[in-house]
A and B are shown apart, each in its own frame.
Chain A
Amino acid sequence: MSIIRPFRATDLFAFNNINLDVWTETYGISFYLSYLARWPDLCCVQQAPNGPLMGYVIGKAEGTSTEFHGHVTALTVAPEFRRLGLARSMMSFLERVSNDVYGGFFVDLYVRCRNGVAIGMYEGLGYSVYRRVREYYGSLGLGPGGKDDEDAFDMRKPLSRDPFRRSVRPNGRDMIVSAHDVS
């Protein structure tokens, strides 16, 4: 139960309850505006009936030919609104737009290898690890997390234009690349 509506620039004044979170990065203003100026239809928020924002997703479309795909840049839900199915519904929104509007072949995202909850969720939603990217993130600064702290999994899920699932592979966790190899 929530209101799903477009992400608006002025939501940046109201997203603290969501962004004051270890897994959620607060970027510069130009970051958000550059997404909204280009892919507003891949960004949305969920709002509670009495006003507060509950979560949001920010995405983009990129790549060429069979690599053309939707990308989840940020997905996050405020702690008090977790486990209500919000992330699930925002992911299905983003997949729908990537599929119907952009005609992408798959949707992908990066997630810290240490973020067990999110990885579990994505797997539950049909995503699988395509490769592991070394030192993709800055350290969380929370003590020993080892490589899992800074490494990312690149996870993917094929869309209807990829019926033969060419965009994914079974042994992705063993495919290791460095951050320079991805953009």
Chain B
Amino acid sequence: MSAAALDRQIRPIYDALDTGSNKSAILACNKLLKKYPKSDLLKSLKALALVRSQKVEESLVLCDEVLASKPTDDSTLTAMMHVLRHLGRHSDMVVMFEDAFKRQPGNEELGVQTFFANVRTGNWKTAQLHATKLKKQFGDDRYVYWGIMCAILQANDHITPPNMCDLLYKLAHRLASSVWSATEFNPDRLHLYLSILRKLHLYDDARTVLDSEQGKSICSRSLACDELRREIWKEKGWLKEEGKLAEERIVHKQDRNWLEFLSVLDATFSSLTSSNEAPDASAREECTQEAARVRILFTKVAEEDGRKDRSGLLALLELEKRARIHDVSSDPSRLVDLLQQYHETFGDKAASYEDLKPYLDMDGEDLTRWISYLDGLPHSSSSLADLQRSINVYKLSRYNLQPSQYTVELEVPRALHLKQEYLEALSLGKDLPKTELQPADDLAILAAQVYVGLYSLSGDKDHLQHAIVFLEYASKKSPQSYLIHLHLIRIYRLLGAPQPALEHYRLLNVKQVQNDTLSHYILNRASDFSLAASGDLTYASECLESSQIYLSNTQEVKKGNTQTNPRRANVRQTADFIVRAFNGEKYSQIPDFIAFEDRLDNSLERDLVKMEHVRMRITHETINSDLIDMELIELKFIFERMHHDNRDFALLPNYQPLGQPSFVTQTTLMRKQPGFGWLSVFLKIYIRALQQASDMDNTVEEKLLIGDRPKPSTGPDNNVPLNDRVSIRRPEELAELTSDELTFYNYATDLADWLAPYHDHTRPPPSVVLAEATKQAELKTGHPLKGLEVPVDSGNGHAKKAEDAPLVKEAPASLVTFFTHMQSRFKALLESNSPSPELLHVASITQEALILLNIETLRFKNQSVIKVHKLGPLAQSFKAIRASAVGILGEMSKDLIALGEGEGTSESRKAFVEQCKDLQGDSNITHDYVLDVAKKVTDARKKVLEGFGKGIARVCTNHA
């Protein structure tokens, strides 16, 4: 066959792959494979098409054939690279390239690809050694820098022991000193070199480089190098020098980077801060004089800049704040003078309030003066500037509102006043296009926060309804305001109306990485609102959708061998960019990319959502061994992760007075924010239950998984075996649970402790489980499971003898009392007319307890297990618990449905409208408009109460 001929025939396969027509690619491969049965390229292309159409097992077979033949040609290697990435077999990729490079050691491209393959797996040590090899062989300096970068990355890797770190940095330093030259102009090489010098505290060496013309020139055009330079100066305590430089930049170059001002300020107080001992009189005197000099400097800047730039005035405020802290302030009235001056100059900028916030923590004379100043200011909305000033004054006054002034009686008129101001100010923006924000928006947000504060003070949910009525109106006027949407989301959820919350969330148009930081606004404790059990999968799908972002960026091990439909492709996107950054020598980016990937892969929100999804899933899916095994594997991986909290709470401003709970706290469901501890507890609950229910012990699991395993965790107890770790209870974790979740945790623990011996006794041995898995896989795919040797069990290969069955113990009393306790919780909430989220929470936890009981007892549904092991009495005792649970849940279900019916009536709407009467009364917020909102809220509450109630009834039927 001529190469050209084959080439021509293969082209259509590439085209098919490019356009995603995997089916036709497979067909074309098959055809050609008949002619060229040995072609590695064809096999690898077919493997690629197969893996892309989710046919993992078939792809694995081809993949192994190609790997065994140790390919060296470019096209095959490239195709295989994609296949292996899809399969998560990054280590195999390394081996493949290493082999190829060994066979063609003069091929630089193969050498580079081998390096990249190691980079993809985060195998820094091997990558570093390989870079040295490349340098030796091909001579390019960039390979030395690659090696340096790898040494540093290895040192920074959390699995590297500290003493090793030091050695690695020294190695990096040796390498760097050998290549660094005075003619180097690449800022990223300098950045890399400096980061080593900094880490090794070789500050003087760093300074020599930075003070040279070369260093200065690079820093002047690289923000990254200049940033590092600043950090080095600061760390070493060269504050005075840095201050002088910064002063020059401010004065001569008109540089207004706030960092320059901070440098001047740090220098000003350095005589007091640079030593650990208490400063003596001369140091104080020096500082006082410096402060006076710098004050003149900043004053001049402020005067020159006028309204053009805020730096000068803000620096004066910061100077005064620090002078007070160090007790060198010379004029007790200066702080308030400056605040006033600032407000007069920049009070018409939206940022002014946030600018001033750090300086508002005051008391005594200052506070009195400041408040009376604010009180004396006029409010007007006759121009945009006036309106912004007025808004800022409201915010500032509110910040320092004293507890005696913060009462229900005083707050209600304030809210109404804000409403009035808002409506009047709307005229300023009436001609703006729909794409613009209304300048009056902040007045609406302030009013809403006042109402939420009122709810917090009084517990009266009417205030929340006021907030909703008002914000819905404001949202219509300013549809682009994300802040109004976010406020509405929080308040609707608090009111037990999840549907409109979700609608507003969708209007935010959350995309891509924002899912990670924002989905908590809607998915936090979403299982309490999920109607999955009654067939409405809205929330369950929302969980899956918001999690897509992780799947496309992650490396995950899958239960590929037994699963015909594994999760989506596991291409590590970030790894590709790390490779690109190496290729383009953008070293400054690489640690950031790794940090980014780590934070995304190990995102707390990712796994909180996962947990919520599992909890929803089990309410409507059949619980069988597939579900149990899949979830168990995944939850165990999650349990090993060191999580990062990327949730964006800072997005919501807080306008509650100093010392009061923040708006975020006030709108957190049940005032408990699930975090690391909450996740850990729920993982433990489910891992324990699923482990008991599963036939798959560690040996079996090890055999059935394909792909690379995640790096071992370095958590505090990582040397404690997982089985023991899931039984550890930590007080700080318990603190994140609601009281009902804590009760549930205790219940789950008692249940698992009680049933553990019977599970361990009756679980089939690994050989039986593996044989069954093989059989199933062959039935499904026509291929046997690869590389699977069924182990021979110790003993006679049979399940343990019936005679050794552990004695049947009576069920712990706590299991029954759990349900009666939840019943009385529910009744009490019902009677006290509590807001529905808590009621739903109690119902949802009770339902979860029933489902957990069924997961734990699924194994014993099998009559022969009961018979063979003589576990009849055991089965009887959990039947009794189940019956009592079902009875109690049945009543809850009825109560919820009845409550929901009450919500959906015209009386309830009328009552709503009546309560919000004080908001009506002009042409804007009319009776009909309020009625519409009332309908929206009550319908949403009806829907969730009824839906949840019906769901419980179904769960009871399914699990009875």
Contact = CB atoms under 8 A, between A and B. Distances in A.
Chain A interface extent, by class? 35 or more
A100 to B, nearest CB: 6
B553 to A, nearest CB: 6
A44 B223 contact: yes
Contact of A1 (B310, B480, B650): B310
Contacts of B227: 5-6
B341 to A, nearest CB: 15
Nearest to A33: B577
B599 interface: yes
Nearest to B437: A79
A37 B581 contact: yes
A35 B355 CA distance: 32
A142 interface: yes
Interface stretch (B167-175, B584-592, B886-894, B903-911): B584-592
Given A20-B482, A23-B435, A84-B351, A12 B513 contact: yes
B580 to A, nearest CB: 4
Nearest to A30: B573
A51 B650 contact: yes
B480 A22 contact: yes
Interface in B510-555: 511-514, 516-518, 549, 553
A93 to B, nearest CB: 8
A1 B517 contact: no
Interface residues of B, number: 60
A50 B512 contact: no
Interface string A7-22: 0111011101101111
A6 B223 contact: yes
Given A1-B314, A12-B513, A29-B513, A40 B435 contact: no
B238 interface: no
A12 B517 CA distance: 9
Nearest to A116: B433
A17 to B, nearest CB: 6
Interface stretch (B19-27, B256-264, B446-454, B693-701): B256-264
A85 B309 contact: yes
A18 B185 CA distance: 34
Given A41-B224, A79-B437, A100-B221, A49 B258 contact: yes
Contacts, number: 145
B586 A13 contact: no
B512 A26 contact: yes
Given A3-B258, A13-B517, A37 B589 contact: yes
A68 B523 CA distance: 47
A182 interface: no
Contact of B512 (A2, A3, A29): A29
Q: Which of A27, A28, A80 has the most CB of B within 10 A?
A: A80
Interface in B170-207: 187
Given A3-B257, A12-B513, A41 B518 contact: no
B350 interface: yes
A37 B586 contact: yes
B648 A4 contact: no
Contact of A79 (B350, B354, B576, B646): B350
A22 B511 CA distance: 13
A36 interface: yes
A17 B651 contact: yes
A29 B651 CA distance: 20
The 4 closest A-B pairs by CB, nearest first: A9-B596, A20-B482, A33-B577, A1-B311
17 contacts: A1-B258, A1-B311, A3-B259, A6-B588, A9-B589, A9-B593, A14-B517, A20-B508, A21-B482, A29-B553, A34-B577, A38-B580, A40-B586, A40-B589, A80-B354, A81-B351, A89-B256
